[in-house]
Structure 1
Amino acid sequence: MLLFKCKPTIYNFEAFSEFAEEFEVGEGDLVLTLSFLYDKVFKPLNLKCNYIFQDKYGLGEPTDEMVNSIFKEAQEFNYKRVIAVGGGTVIDIAKLMTHSDVSEDIDLYGLFTKKIPFNKNKKLVIIPTTCGTGSEVTNISIVGFIKKNTKFGLAAEELYADDAVLITEFLQTLPFKPFMTSSIDALIHGIESYLAPKSNAYTELYSLRAIRIILEGYLEIAEKGKEYRNEIMNNFAIASNYAGIAFSNTGVGAVHAISYPLSGKYHVAHGEANYQFLTEVLRTYYNMDSEGKIKELNTYLSTILDVKDDAEVVYEKIDEILGNFLYKKKLSEYGMQQNDIDEFAGLVIETQQRLLKNNYVPFDKSIISSVYKNLF
């Protein structure tokens, strides 16, 4: 049985200019990034590469329409290497741009349902500018399909980056809310990886360390102020990377699966959507099987948070800490309607089996509905 792998080679630089020199960025490279980063970081270097700006085609999560528009522009360039510099949206799209048949006419839905094989013929370098997705070390791309009101994930060996690069310069310009939503996402990656059926002694080294770094970082920021995050930002980048390595081997579960319809229909940012469901899913897991691995997780969390080793106390403490930085809304505050509850639960069952199989305990439609109802 396969226990563990880490596909990309991992690098760490203080500044992008150091990376550009070592990787000889220039002709044959296509950089997918954001326009404000170009003006601030790329333009002064006068690199002889081509650029596509993701924000030209919309903001927020990647959609099928956004991907097809970027694919159309990519056809104008002859490139051998894709360099992704951005958050989860940029990274998820860049992974698809290594496909041999990048064009606006490709059946993107067929690609995600594996009716079309993924043929990689270009190199991929990923440089995250947030500290949460961990996507630089995973083989997963997530895209929202507008007419279906949900997201689909494609997992394929060909989606691994050749190189994953952490650059502190980018993270220190991250505003506080994106910092929180992305780092909460990394925390959830660590937790879901630890509880997943495929979790093992190797992945636990990464998932548990990621959880500790992130929670201890939050406690320090609560004590020393929001700006203190910039002094420990590289810790969060490494923790996100650890969590990404962990869940790339084990997968994530119900927190992600249940959040997708909320993101898809009401355009809630990925990390923020996951945040809404974290402790409710953990509480549901614990109520269904309190003597399994979740008991070990709760003990571990209680030692970091310095609270009683009691599930409800631990979950309340997590909500308290995260709530100090990011308000936890009721689902109805996003516009969710009562009749969405059963519709969303059915959509999760129908479209997210890839994730649900990674649950700590099995969830059926009634359990998923109850999670939505409790948070509505």
Structure 2
Amino acid sequence: MANRFVLNETSYHGAGAIQEIAAEAKGRGFQKAFVCSDPDLVKFGVTKKVLDVLDQAGLVYELYSDIKPNPTIENVQTGVAAFKKSEADYLVAIGGGSSMDTAKAIGIIINNPDFEDVVSLEGVAPTTNKSVPIFAVPTTAGTAAEVTINYVITDAEKNRKMVCVDPKDIPVVAFVDSDMMSSMPKGLTAATGMDALTHAIEGYITAGAWELSDMFHIKAIEIIARSLRGAVDNTPEGREGMALGQYVAGMGFSNVGLGIVHSMAHPLGALYDTPHGIANAIILPTVMEYNAEATGEKYRDIAKAMGVEGVESMSQEEYRKAAIDAVKKLSQDVGIPADLKEIVKKEDIPFLAQSAYDDACRPGNPKETSVEDITKLYESLI
């Protein structure tokens, strides 16, 4: 069986990377951009940094900002209608996962109108045409949506998140500019950073992992472990490290899948609007403990990458605990809550557990699981 690996055509990295947008747009002959960005980024002038690049180059665009933190089917459908009216020929997604996920869904539906109900995109949809070309500009160091083939849309009527996987949706160019992330508040920096760490750790131990993806994930863990505290303190080195680390994690997990940390986090976002990174960060150590027996020696590598010393002389039980403890310590240092007591209502656990089991990320978990197992994991966190 062949292992497939999908990445951007081109990516730019480093402070000032957004300046390359104009040359890429002109070089590809694009005429008008449909810019997707969320209202807060527009309000606080972050989106304007990219719009200024377009303006200075004389490039025409239309701004769409009807995007929620957990984008809904309605957001996408409204965006599709706006895109058609705009007569744009490419998308520029500015933001975190929400803006990029919305742009991906719009781009896919425009070129695959049979999926305009949005619901039919869930899972691995049989689309036939590539998305409208997307330029992706991340403003958070976490989701790596600029380099993944995944996007998540909320079905508000059913209180559930739909995970969509489609290699035809990957942005053609990513502009990973740490300057675009410098205005992120501490809480958001911490949450998105722990999301990136979750991607790297889950991607490293997922059932579909192999040597090429392992290379990216271990390096991502190493970069994130040494950079996240600095990013939360808004140091240039920390910001640049996290911009790269989260992207490297995305290069890996997009191609091999994740596990039940994400499966359990998705329903929390759908039901309670819990920030995705916070949910992942709280759940990660508990699921690492649950999965440990199915990971061979991989936790030794994780412990090393997290900066734990003396790993080589540790027993399997010791290095597994060391890896989990290092994750807990990083999470604590950047201000993540230790449990779900302030989030989850006990009476909702049966719904959450079933939703997590049905989630598209669950089959990638290294250990076979059940609704009962997931129920116990939720219960242990409240």
2:274 is the alignment partner of 1:271: no
Alpha-carbon distance, 1:297 to partner: 4.0
The runs of 5 or more residues in structure 2 that have no matched partner are: none
Alpha-carbon distance, 1:356 to partner: 1.5
**Aligned equivalent of 1:306:** 309
How far residue 299 of structure 1 moved from its aligned partner, in angstroms, is 4.3
Change (3 A) 1:246 1:67: same
Q: 1:267 to 1:200 in 2, by over 3 A?
A: same
Where structure 1 has 5 or more consecutive residues not aligned to the other structure, the ranges are: none
Query: What residue in structure 1 maps to residue 80 of structure 2?
Result: 71
Among 123, 139, 154, the alignment partner of 1:129 is: 139
After TM superposition, list the pairs within 5 Å mapping 1:33-44 onto structure 2: 33-34=37-38, 35=42, 36-43=45-52
- Compared with structure 1, are the counterparts of its residues 190 and 115 closer, same or farther at alpha carbon in structure 2 (3 Å cutoff)? closer
Q: Answer yes or no: is the 8 Å Cα contact 1:71–1:102 preserved in 2.
A: no
- Maintained 8 Å contact 2:131/2:169: no
1:365 counterpart = 2:371? yes
Does structure 2 retain, via aligned residues, the 8 Å contact 1:75–1:102? Answer: no
Alignment partner of 1:300: what SS? Answer: helix
Shift of 1:280: 0.2
**Following the alignment from structure 1 to structure 2, what is the Cα–Cα distance between the partners of residues 121 and 254?**
28
Query: Could you tell me how far apart the structure 1 residues matched to 2:243 and 2:53 are?
Result: 25
The change in CA–CA distance for 1:226 and 1:121 in structure 2 (over 3 A counts) is closer
Q: For 1:27 and 1:39, how far apart are their aligned partners in 2? A: 19
Q: Give the Å deviation of 1:13.
A: 5.0
Q: Compute the displacement of 1:120 (Å).
A: 2.9
1:148-170 Cα distance to aligned partner (Å, 9 max, x none): 11111111121112112212220
The residue type paired with residue 157 of structure 1 is P
Select the residue among 157, 179, 202 that pairs with 2:212. 202
Note if contact 1:127-1:136 (Cα within 8 Å) is conserved in structure 2: yes
- The answer to whether the 8 A contact 1:132-1:240 is kept is yes
Cα distance in 2 for partners of 1:360, 1:114 equals: 20
Structure 2 matches for 1:115-154, cutoff 5 A? Answer: 117=127, 119-120=129-130, 122-154=132-164
State how 1:152-231 maps to structure 2 within 5 Å: 152-218=162-228, 221=230, 226-228=233-235, 230-231=236-237
Q: CA deviation at 1:313?
A: 4.1
Asked whether the equivalents of residues 203 and 209 of structure 2 are also in contact (C-alpha less than 8 Å), the reply is: yes
Q: 17, 29, 34: which one pairs with 1:30?
A: 34
Write the letter of the residue equivalent to 2:11. I
Tell which deviates more after alignment, 230-239 or 41-50. 41-50
Q: 1:213 to 1:116 in 2, by over 3 A?
A: closer
Deviations 1:62-103 (A, max 9, x none): 111222222222221112211111111011111122233588
Q: Could you say which residue in structure 2 is the equivalent of 1:94?
A: 103
The whole-number CA distance in structure 2 between the counterparts of 1:245 and 1:363 is 26
Total equivalences in the alignment:
364
Give, in whole Å, the separation in 2 of the partners of 1:374 and 1:340. 14
1:345 equivalent in structure 2: 353
2:125–2:165 Cα contact (<8 Å) kept: no
Offset, 1:33? 2.1
Larger mean Cα displacement after TM superposition, 2-11 or 244-253: 2-11
Q: CA deviation at 1:317?
A: 3.4
Partners of 2:85 and 2:97 in 1: CA distance? 24
The answer (yes or no) to whether the contact 2:152–2:161 under 8 Å persists in 1 is yes
Taking the aligned partners of 1:248 and 1:330, their CA distance within structure 2 comes to 27
- CA deviations 1:269-312 (Å, max 9, x no partner) are 111111110000001112x44x724443454356x133764233
Q: TM-score, normalized by length of structure 1? A: 0.88
Matched with 1:20 is 21
Percentage identity across paired residues of the two chains: 21
Summarize the Cα distance change of 1:321–1:116 in structure 2 as closer, same or farther, 3 Å threshold: closer
User: 1:108 aligned to 2:109?
Assistant: no
RMSD (Å), alpha carbons: 2.6
Q: CA deviation at 1:39?
A: 3.7
1:314 CA displacement: 3.5
Relative to the length of structure 2, the TM-score reads 0.87
Mapped contact 1:193–1:250 kept (Cα < 8 A):
yes
Determine the C-alpha separation between the residues in 2 that align with 1:101 and 1:3: 27
Contact conserved, 1:110 with 1:116, CA < 8 A, in 2?
no
Contact 1:28 1:49 in 2 (8 A): yes
Deviation at 1:142, TM superposition (A): 0.6
How far has the Cα of 1:175 moved from its partner?
1.8
Cα deviation, residue 121, structure 1 = 5.3
What is the CA deviation profile of residues 119-151 of structure 1, one whole-angstrom value per residue up to 9, with x for unaligned ones? 335212211111111111111111111111111
Please point out which of 55, 59, 73 is paired with 1:48.
59
Partner SS, residue 148 of structure 1: coil
